[in-house]
Structure 1
Amino acid sequence: MTETATAKLGRPRAFCEETALEAAMRVFWEKGYEGASLADLTEAMGINRASLYSSFGDKEALFRQALARYGEGPASYVKTALQEPTARRVVEALLKGVVDLLGNPKNPRGCLSTQGALATGLGAEPIKNVLIEWRKGAEVEMQKRFKRARTEGDLPEDVNAGDLTRYLSSVIYGLGIMAANGDTKADLNRVVDMTLRTLPLA
């Protein structure tokens, strides 16, 4: 077959999968799972539908990969924060990390783990479950870290590791909703400052 004939049949476009996945992540982050159409995704990724399906699978599979990339990239502050030497510094790093993420004008508003589930109907129930499990996974790691702090004598005896984790998760997701609603980084920092003042941590 001649080169001209091959071109007429359609030659697969060369593209960087990492760059395309990054673009898809940002579309889901901005529009949510159901709000992101295939046209939105392929346009942002710079590929056609055939390339999307052959490289990433269907829309649900693409979202799962985008969420994993989000955890390894923009939300990697969580893993970094859990390496801090004291419980208080863990909390400070978690809250500072989420504010830096949410307050970055280059990022879509809110966080992918909450934005992704906006207006998720019955047809997207698997995605809602994926996001629930993703958030629970982060909470499990946080609780493990606070239990370790308790064992090391770094966490007061009257502070339950599970309760502290749930409280911080509520603050973090609340900050995400505030950012999605247009609150400024200064507004978010005021919430963080008040949270740190009220926590019984040395």
Structure 2
Amino acid sequence: MNKPSMTNANKKIRFLIPAALFAALTAIGAYIKIPLPPVPVSLQTFFVVLSGLLLGSYYGSTSQILYVTMGLIGLPVFVEGGGLFYIVKPTFGYLVGFIFCAYTIGRLVHGKNRELSLQHALHNLQNASSRKIVLACTAGFVAIYIPGVFYLYFISHFYLSNGLTFLQALIGGCLYFLIWDIVKIVLILLFVKFYAKKAV
């Protein structure tokens, strides 16, 4: 193998390692639950959002593709294990939404930059306004809920035939979590601003 090819391979590995780390953190976050009303809240989406903020659109979404792929091939990284059967789970749409979430946030904060180093990401976050970060995170959560709620309704109504209406899917699959999503966005904003300030 020639030297340029080796350099490109090393470069790709350097970006894939953080992506693999965030795939693992996303899996771990599903099991870290805070018993809050009306339903327990996990830290999974916290790590999904951070993957977009710290890795950018390409490798942030790559981390979530890796996470979903690991689950579908049978690794027990989902809340109820893993395997292809998860495709017919009512909550599978949210997992697909994780990919869109990381991509959306990374694109809005960092633009089209594909090979985004952590140092560059932190520099961008330090210079980005709080409003920009909050709007990007909000768009990221919307990117989770759109496929999540529609898939929940579709599977529940047409596959499981339990008669779940779209309004019920919207309330149970989105509105219950909004207040805690707002809290997460505030915590994420404080975290990235503090971390970026210290690291840059």
- Could you state the TM-score of these two structures normalised by the residue count of structure 1? 0.39
Higher RCO by CA contacts (8 Å cutoff, separation 6 or greater): 1
The structure having more radius of gyration, on CA atoms, is 1
More helix as a share of residues: 2
